[in-house]
Amino acid sequence: MKNVLLLIFLLLGFSPLSQAQTSDETEIQNLIQNSFDELFSNLDAEKLGDFYTDDFLLLEQGEIWDNAIILGYFERASKNPNRPIRTNRFEFIQTKVEGNRGWVGYWNFATLTRDGQVIQEIKWLESATAVKTDKGWRLDMLHSTRVDKE
pLDDT at 149: 77
Whichever domain contains 45, its CATH number is: 3.10.450.50
Which structural domain, as residue segments, surrounds residue 45? 2-146
The pLDDT of residue 5 is: 41
For the chain, how many structural domains are there in total? 1
Distance between CA atoms of residues 66 and 52, nearest Å? 10
pLDDT at position 97, please?
98
Inter-CA distances, 5 with 9, 18, 26, 118, Å: 6, 18, 28, 52
- For 100, half-sphere exposure in the C-beta direction (CA atoms, 13 angstrom radius) is 8
- 10-residue block means of pLDDT along the chain (150 residues)? 44 44 89 98 97 98 96 96 97 98 98 97 98 97 91
The SS3 assignment for 62 reads coil
Conformational region of residue 53, where left means phi above 0, alpha means psi within -120 to 50, and beta covers everything else: beta
